[in-house]
Structure 1
Amino acid sequence: MKNTKDFYNKTASEWADKWYDDESLIPYIKEFFNYLPKKPRILDLCCGAGYESMRMKKLGADVVGLDFSEESIKIANKRNLGISFVVEDMLNDYSYLGKFDGCVVIAGLVHIPNEKLSNAFEKIDNVLNDNGFLFIVVKEGTGKNERSSYTEIDGEKYDRDFNLHTIEELKLYSFKKFKFINEIVFDKNSIWKYYIFKKVIR
C-alpha cells in the first residue's frame, strides 16, 4: 500500500486546482498576522503546492514553503516567483532554513500521529524566533480516521495516515515549547480548528 507522500505526489495537481482559487483561509491568516511584526518571515510548513504561501506573500510576508511531496513543490515553484520552496519532511531537521517570526501548519499535523507530535513541535521550535508564533489547523477529534486515511486511485491503494487532534493533545505534546494563545473562530460549526500558539522563551 502506498503512503502519504505517494498520495500527495499523485494528487498534487488536483489540490493545486482546488486551492489556488479558494480564498477561504485568508481571514484566518490575516488574524494570525496580527500577532506578527510587519513584513514577517514565515515558514509555510506542509505547504503543498504553495497556494497559501502565495497568499501570505501577497499580504507582505517573506515566505519559505516546505513539503515532502516533490510534485507539489514542482507546482509551487512554477506558480510562485519570489518564494523559496524546499523538499523536506517536517519531522526532519530543517533548521538550515534559518529563523522565522511565524510558522503556519495548515492541515499538516493531520498526518502526524500523537507519538510523533512532540518531534514535530521540537522541529518547529528550533526555527522560530524567541517571540515567534505558530498557527495550526487541525481536524477535531482523536486517533486515526480510517475513512479519511484509505483511498484508491487508478487501481492503487493509498494510506495517507489521517489523524484527528484535540486542543488538549496539542497542548500536551507541545508542552514546554509552546503556549496556547487563542482559537480563531469564524464558523462555530466547523470541525476544522484554527489555533495560535506562542513559543515559550526558556
Structure 2
Amino acid sequence: MKNTKDFYNKTASEWADKWYDDESLIPYIKEFFNYLPKKPRILDLCCGAGYESMRMKKLGADVVGLDFSEESIKIANERNSGISFVVEDMLNDYSYLGKFDGCVVIAGFVHIPNEKLSKAFEKIDNVLNDNGFLFIVVKEGTGKNEKSSYATIDGEDYDRDFYLHTLEELKGYSSGKFDFVKELVFENASQWEYYIFKKCSTNK
C-alpha cells in the first residue's frame, strides 16, 4: 500500500486545481497576520502546491513554503515567483531556513499521530523568533480517521494516515514551547478548527 507522500505526489495537481481559486482561508490568515510584524517572514509548513503561500505573499509576507511532496513543490514553483519552496519533511531539521515571525500549518498536523506531535512542535519552535506565532488548522477528534485515510486511485491503494486532534492534545504536546492564544471562528461553517499559538516567552 502506498503512503502519504505517494498520495500527495499522485494528487498534487488536483489539490492545486481546487485550492488556487478557493479564498475561504483569507479571513483566518488576515486575523493571524494581526499578531505579526508588518511584512512578516512566514513559514508555510506542509504548503502543498503553494496556494496559501501565494495568498500570504499577496498580503505582504516574505514566504517560504515547505512540503515533502516533490510534485506539489514542482507545481508551487511553476505557479509562483518570489517565493522559496523546499522539499523537506516537517519532522526533519529545517532550521537551515533561518528564523520566522510566524508559521502556518494548514492541515499538516492531520498526518502526524500524537506520539510525533511533540517533535513537530519542537521543529517549529526551533525556527520561530522569540514571541513568534503559530497558526494551526486541524480536524477535531482523536486518533486515526479510517475513512479519510484510505483511498484507491487508478487501481492503487493509498493510506495517507489521517489523524484527528483536539485542542487539549495540541496544548499538551506543545506545552513548554507554545501557549494557546485564540480559536478563530468566522461565520462560514467549517469542519475544521483554527487555532493561534504563541511561542513561550520563557522558552529557551
Tell me the TM-score normalised to structure 2 length: 0.98
In structure 1, the residue matched to 2:68 is 68
Tell me how far 1:191 sits from its aligned partner. 2.5
Which amino acid letter does the alignment assign opposite residue 155 of structure 1? Answer: G
In structure 1, the residue matched to 2:24 is 24
State the alpha-carbon separation in 1 of the partners of residues 190 and 78 from structure 2. 33
State the alpha-carbon separation in 2 of the partners of residues 53 and 122 from structure 1. 22
State the alpha-carbon separation in 1 of the partners of residues 190 and 16 from structure 2. 23
In structure 2, the residue matched to 1:109 is 109
In structure 1, the residue matched to 2:100 is 100
Tell me how far 1:41 sits from its aligned partner. 0.0
Instruction: Deviation per CA, 1:33-90: give whole Å up to 9, x if none.
Output: 0000000000000000000000000000000000000000000000000000000000
- Give the paired residue count: 202
Superposition pairs of residues 40-189 of structure 1, within 5 angstroms: 40-187=40-187, 189=189
Tell me how far 1:131 sits from its aligned partner. 1.6
State the alpha-carbon separation in 2 of the partners of residues 79 and 189 from structure 1. 29
Tell me how far 1:189 sits from its aligned partner. 4.8
**Secondary structure, counterpart of 2:197 in structure 1:** strand
State the alpha-carbon separation in 2 of the partners of residues 35 and 161 from structure 1. 32
Tell me how far 1:147 sits from its aligned partner. 0.2
Which amino acid letter does the alignment assign opposite residue 81 of structure 2? Answer: L
In structure 2, the residue matched to 1:13 is 13
State the alpha-carbon separation in 2 of the partners of residues 55 and 96 from structure 1. 24
Task: List alignment gaps of at least 5 residues for structure 1.
Answer: none
Instruction: Deviation per CA, 1:130-158: give whole Å up to 9, x if none.
Output: 02000000001110000000000000000
State the alpha-carbon separation in 1 of the partners of residues 124 and 188 from structure 2. 28
State the alpha-carbon separation in 1 of the partners of residues 47 and 188 from structure 2. 25
Tell me how far 1:188 sits from its aligned partner. 7.6
State the alpha-carbon separation in 2 of the partners of residues 173 and 146 from structure 1. 23
Which amino acid letter does the alignment assign opposite residue 141 of structure 2? Answer: G
**Secondary structure, counterpart of 2:198 in structure 1:** strand
CA RMSD of aligned residues (A): 0.8
State the alpha-carbon separation in 2 of the partners of residues 156 and 60 from structure 1. 41
State the alpha-carbon separation in 2 of the partners of residues 144 and 199 from structure 1. 27
